[in-house]
Amino acid sequence: MNADKRVITDEQLQKLIDVLIGAGRRVLGPVRGDGVVVYEDIQSVNDFPVGLTDEQTPGGYRLVEAADQSYFGFSVGPHVWKKFLHPSQIELWRARREGENLIIEASGGNNETYAFIGVRACELAAISKQDRVLTGGDYVDTHYQTRRENTLLIAVNCGKAGGCCFCASMGTGPEVRGPFDLALTELSPADEHLFVVEAGSPAGQELLLEIGSRPATEHEIETAKSIVERTALTMGRSMPPDVDVPRLLADNLLHPRWQEVAERCLSCANCTLVCPTCFCTTVEDISDLAGESFARERRWDSCFTMDFSYLHGGGVRNTVASRYRQWMTHKLSTWIEQFGSSGCVGCGRCITWCPVGIDITQEVQAIAGAQTG
């Protein structure tokens, strides 16, 4: 943690939201919706899931009352920030007939400016990975790039590990490392509701000046540090230590475990939908019944769908085992060859939101155990 720490109150946190809205930004953060924590528009600190925490197990999630009135006393839910940065559906262009002519028009870009509040360390790591994939090479996704450049990131250090989290073993959390504009650590709201905060960018420094803050005391800094350290020690899951996971998977493409997990896997694509780093898409052309107007849309796709690997009359991956293997080996092995880091950030969503509770950490452990057993 950076030694240059400040402290703000819940009133100043509200002022931060007001300043962001006043600047024309769409402010998004965690709220309670349909029995889970989701990311939606917020206008007040009271919109946060105050006094709630979550219980997560493989294939299970529920919100329960917390022991205090914390604003961020829960871990990640089913929503991911990519729903705003890399939306599930985008119109690329549209066309219409005018007499004998066909008029083609590029769809307008998204000019909204965002502020995300409550971004966790694993999610910041995921955004960094999508930055690398979608804007770091020769072919830039301009839709993503525009949204990303227009977004402020206000992060929160985790004060609670979820039952399926394993970010500590992936080196992506629970401590916020960046990129961020502001990073908050919520102290116990037993007396005064305080947040230790640090700026990670000039924009973040300007926001702190505007809302006001005071220097953090040594006790407050140590308390914030101990909160993150405690969270790291209470992870619900971990990748096996001292195992070269990328090499392990690359050497076991024909391991019988793939077939064993396929007997449970529904190939439903839930894991890819809730994953904060998955970026695969497909393109669809649509038209009206009269054939007078047309549009091309980009939509999220998944390596678990049969059509995803369709080539020249057939699918390359016709079995559930081959599709699960593709997903897991890409996340934990071949992604590193492509982009220089693992494609997994240890958020645990794929475990929690799998209908049959398949646990990616247990699958790695099973293959590693078979190798050493």
The pLDDT confidence band at residue 2, using thresholds 50, 70 and 90, is very low
Q: What is the pLDDT of residues 302-325, one digit of tens each?
A: 999 988 888 887 878 989 999 999
Which whole number is the average pLDDT over 101-123? 91
Q: Is the pLDDT of residue 1 over 80?
A: no
Residues 6+ apart with CB under 8 A from 362: none
pLDDT at position 370 is 59
Asked if 157 and 185 count as a contact pair (C-beta separation under 8 A), the reply is: yes
Residue % of the chain over a pLDDT of 90: 83
The pLDDT confidence band at residue 110, using thresholds 50, 70 and 90, is confident
Structure letter (DSSP) for residue 330: I
Give the tokens for residue 200. 């990670």
Q: Is the pLDDT of residue 147 over 90?
A: yes
Which whole number is the average pLDDT over 219-245? 94
Which whole number is the average pLDDT over 162-179? 94
The pLDDT confidence band at residue 280, using thresholds 50, 70 and 90, is very high
pLDDT at position 109 is 76
pLDDT at position 311 is 84
pLDDT at position 373 is 42
Q: What is the pLDDT of residues 74-100, one digit of tens each?
A: 999 999 999 999 999 999 999 998 888
pLDDT at position 99 is 85
Q: What is the pLDDT of residues 284-299, one digit of tens each?
A: 999 988 888 899 999 9
Which whole number is the average pLDDT over 238-244? 92
pLDDT at position 314 is 80
Burial code (b: 16+ CB inside 10 Å, e: under 16) for 108-144 equals: eebeeebbbbbbbbbbbbbbbbbeebbeeeeeebebb
Which whole number is the average pLDDT over 205-223? 96
Closest to 56 (Cα-Cα) out of 165, 156, 158: 165
* DSSP conformation letters of 208-254: HHHH--EEPPHHHHHHHHHHHHHHHHT-S--PPTT--HHHHHHT-TT
- Quote the mean pLDDT of the chain: 93
